[in-house]
Amino acid sequence: MNAFHLLTELTVFVLAVFVGLEVISKVPATLHTPLMSATNAIHGIVLVGALLIAVVAEPKLGPVLSVLVVFLASLNVFGGYVVTQRMLAMFKPRQTPAQANAAADGAKK
């Protein structure tokens, strides 16, 4: 890879970071949960890509890097679902102490 090609790729990456920050910062709070769901779908695509790369990897470092890439992509997917669950829990109504005691008493019976 020559220096011009590397510089072009770095320029595209930096511009994508700035555009991504601008787009995400303008999203209202009510749309963050659907945005996270879409992001989880994208992360699933990343995991599929990591699995495909693992199949055609070079024999030198292929097995080690393949396992690492699939592991990191899996963490990305499952971490996204954990964050989405926590965000959805924020929208549930909070229980008053009386409601919590009534729920606990109902569970004991």
**pTM, rounded to two decimals:** 0.49
Kindly state whether residue 98 falls inside one of the protein's structural domains: no
**DSSP class of 81:** H
Kindly state whether residue 105 falls inside one of the protein's structural domains: no
Kindly state whether residue 75 falls inside one of the protein's structural domains: yes
Kindly state whether residue 107 falls inside one of the protein's structural domains: no
How much is the pLDDT for 87?
74
pLDDT tens by residue, 10-33: 999 999 999 988 887 887 777 766
Residues with pLDDT less than 70, the chain: 1, 32-33, 36-37, 60-62, 95-109
Q: How far apart are CA 44 and CA 68, in angstroms?
A: 16
Kindly state whether residue 63 falls inside one of the protein's structural domains: yes
Nearest alpha carbon to residue 34 among 87, 92, 89, 109: 87
Kindly state whether residue 109 falls inside one of the protein's structural domains: no
Q: How far apart are CA 70 and CA 75, in angstroms?
A: 9
Q: How far apart are CA 71 and CA 61, in angstroms?
A: 16
Supply the range of the domain harboring residue 65: 3-92
Kindly state whether residue 54 falls inside one of the protein's structural domains: yes
How much is the pLDDT for 15?
94
Give how many domains the chain has, as a whole number.
1
How much is the pLDDT for 104?
65
Kindly state whether residue 76 falls inside one of the protein's structural domains: yes
